[in-house]
Structure 1
């Protein structure tokens, strides 16, 4: 059933280093604290572990404890939940975004642009295809952190409504995070949501959050405080997208190209 509105909860949180059980426990409390009815709950990148280059310590399968917890929570709360975690499959490790529906169905996306600066490309297998999720009549493009720097990969050739990034984006480069989220919204004429973590990880990398949602004109819709844990709910509307796409028609003039992965 198509919905005119989509209510999204952005969960900006600290993460316990390489401790999936404790992270699930903390996130369960944050999810339970959401009393308003929402359609989607968004968690950060690698929400069970932090941005670790030691996947063997935290990797799970698609039938593992975290996926079971997400399915149970999504069903109990009647809400979709998304974020990324370390998955092992076919003798490879993936930084995989999962989008878990209340029905128990799981949509996945493997991060294409592995973060070479941290050596992510050496331990994680890169994805090769985008995933467009159809949920309540909304088309959602789910990407991960470093993907934000590559506009060609995010280009709205699928006519999606929401571009969604989950991240562990460090404080020293947070100005780029702010600028690029806004740019992706404007150039793709879609809502753009980014959920980043806060706190300090075991490698002394500091994260300042700056989780946010932008509309198709690049107007910021959220007011999430920096450097602290917070949850904010934003309401997206189909009418907003239709009004400005019909009025401005910028997507009609986009360049045609073929992308070779």
Structure 2
């Protein structure tokens, strides 16, 4: 694919997951990615796409994070696309809900989920991250975050003039209205495209997931949303971001602040 600095085509893969079975999930997503006939720039997978939202990371072999990273590198090279998703990752004796961004040239960057989900006890099993990540890819600046991060607008705040907020998630049915509302709000307040990729199906502990993977434009307009297991292709335009920000200079009036742990 020729690089296009004005448009970015994104594949959102909404799927059920095999519980704590990295091999089965990699095979499944490999097949789904192989079936993408269009050239895309970016492929986005759900949160913890190799295991489901497990609170038993010790059940997962400590090498699986590296195995998944190597798998993502092969996919990125083969498809000439960047690929994003979070996975259980063991590093220096700690477990992380680590989001990986792998580019076609094999380079990668990572982000450890900042807001671990205390309602499920995630904070007791996984070490929280402390640094936000901004990825520059094919002319777009992307801020990738993970699930519960969506509820915290200060952490999502557009202080670096990025173009895209991207959330990968396991967000259950009882709170899906919040998912929809917050994705829209994050797009509006940050004047960005906002991407959310959720899963579908029922996990091993009985949580039901309704999908609602979606894309909102910089004014909060809904571009695409799906409730079924499928891959949807969406496209974003740099020109639209620039025009909206030039006409409506809301970011110029934003509050300035610093974060401390």
Q: TM-score scaled to structure 1, two decimals?
A: 0.97
Q: 2:105 aligns with which of 103, 106, 119?
A: 103
Q: Is the 8 A contact 2:9 2:236 kept in 1?
A: yes
The separation in 2 between residues aligned to 1:104 and 1:195, in whole angstroms, is 23
* Distance change (3 Å), C-alpha of 1:133 and 1:248: same
Runs of 5+ unmatched residues, structure 2: none
The separation in 2 between residues aligned to 1:80 and 1:210, in whole angstroms, is 22
The separation in 2 between residues aligned to 1:257 and 1:79, in whole angstroms, is 35
Give secondary structure in 2 for the equivalent of 1:222: strand
* Distance change (3 Å), C-alpha of 1:150 and 1:63: closer
| Equivalence for 1:161 | 163
| Equivalence for 1:209 | 211
| Equivalence for 1:247 | 247
1:62 shift after superposition: 8.1
1:64 shift after superposition: 2.3
RMSD: 1.2
* Distance change (3 Å), C-alpha of 1:206 and 1:63: closer
Q: Is the 8 A contact 1:169 1:177 kept in 2?
A: yes
User: After the TM superposition, which parts of structure 1 deviate over 6 Å for at least 4 consecutive aligned residues?
Assistant: none
Deviations 1:63-86 (A, max 9, x none): 722111110111011110000000
Give secondary structure in 1 for the equivalent of 2:23: helix
Residues 1:33 and 2:35 aligned together: yes
Q: Is the 8 A contact 1:2 1:138 kept in 2?
A: no
The separation in 1 between residues aligned to 2:206 and 2:96, in whole angstroms, is 23
The separation in 2 between residues aligned to 1:98 and 1:69, in whole angstroms, is 11
| 1:1-261 superposed matches below 5 A | 3-61=5-63, 64-224=66-226, 226=227, 228-261=228-261
- Aligned pairs, number: 259
Q: Is the 8 A contact 1:14 1:229 kept in 2?
A: yes
* Distance change (3 Å), C-alpha of 1:128 and 1:59: farther
The separation in 2 between residues aligned to 1:24 and 1:191, in whole angstroms, is 28
The separation in 2 between residues aligned to 1:13 and 1:96, in whole angstroms, is 19
Give secondary structure in 2 for the equivalent of 1:165: strand
Q: Is the 8 A contact 1:133 1:139 kept in 2?
A: yes
Deviations 1:175-213 (A, max 9, x none): 000000000000000000000000000100000000000
Q: TM-score scaled to structure 2, two decimals?
A: 0.97
Runs of 5+ unmatched residues, structure 1: none
1:223 shift after superposition: 3.5
Give secondary structure in 1 for the equivalent of 2:222: coil
